Structure 1
Amino acid sequence: MKFLVVDDSATMRRIVINSLQRIGFNDTVEAGDGQEALAKFDSSIKFIITDWNMPNMTGTEFTKVLRSRDDGRHVPVLMVTARSVKEDILTAMEAGVNNYIVKPFTPQVLKEKIDALLPAAAA
């Protein structure tokens, strides 16, 4: 299953990708912001992990645009961000995010969140 990892921090993208590899997912594409992610998104992408705070297009803006597209309506989106207040989580969910992780995280937490969304990814 191919993942799109979206974060303006190359270090954070590497942490997410390394965590994915540790739990058995090796097919990834990287993007530094929402605009780049939209340019790289295609039907081979089955799961998206995005940060919130990024230049050019935030994770919530990216998710809203993705959800407006026929090919992006049903792709699971997991937000991994430092934003932890309840209002931010609600805003992300309203934008179309399926689940939410607050940084820092462990590979086990990432696996649990992905596993919870896998039935949607398989559909």
Structure 2
Amino acid sequence: MHAQNQALLDALNACIAACEHCASSCLQEEDVKMMARCISIDRDCADICAITARFVARGSEHAAHLMKECAEICKACGDECEKHGAHMAHCKECAEACRRCEQACRQGVAA
């Protein structure tokens, strides 16, 4: 597998793990209702990253389209998680993973 694709797959998989962890951790917060948006976008982000990884791994002609959408959702998730990152480590870690994945997807589209 091409090194660039492997780096993209690594970023996608790291983002999936961070988003799943963040959503699960948010569910344990005292004010879960306040975290509803974060949980929702975490789930969306994990799902788009998973399908994008599959398309990239198989070399699908539709991978670039999914990478564009994935970058947008990763940006939105990163933005949301950053709102909570100062007082929730799981949100800070998720925001960082989302930013790396967003960048990797944008580079993948440009390649």
Scaled by the length of structure 1, the TM-score of the pair is: 0.28
TM-score, reference length from structure 2: 0.30
Judging by fraction of residues, say which structure has more strand: 1
Higher helix share: 2
User: Which protein, 1 or 2, shows the higher relative CO under an 8 Å CA cutoff with sep ≥ 6?
Assistant: 2
Larger gyration radius, structure 1 or structure 2: 2
